[in-house]
Amino acid sequence: MRKPRDYDDIPGTYVFDFERSHQGYHLNQFCVSLLKPGNREAFLADEAGYLRRYPMTEAQRQAVLKRDWLGMVKLGGNIYYTSKIGATLGRSFQYIAAEMSGVTQEEYAAMMLQGGRPIIGNRSRSGK
């Protein structure tokens, strides 16, 4: 269990801090393994079997298998590492970000071109 932080009350924000890094270590090691072509091939041939090579939690394994990108981040996945899964599957970073944001790729691209998410409603709930 991670210790609550002051920044935990910012809507939609999952800071990759020490606790999340520790929580996601094995998930992130799996993701980094996908840098090697042979590992990508092995993963694509038997995803569940390949995931068993890493002592991840069952929730982390299920997030990978279900392509729950935001779930992976919440479970300690570093977005830059989890994007290796997307690349292995032929998915762009924009695709993953759109999925995590609950919008289409086109809507996500338009939002980014307009300066990103509006600040209203996306600040700390504590008012700090």
Distance CA 103, CA 109 (A): 10
Residues 87-126 pLDDT 10s: 999 999 999 999 998 999 999 999 999 988 777 766 666 7
H or E, element range at 61: helix 58-65
Q: With contact defined as beta carbons under 8 Å apart, do 70 and 98 qualify?
A: no
pLDDT, tens only, 17-51? 888 899 999 999 999 999 999 999 999 999 999 99
CATH of domain 13-91: 1.10.700.10
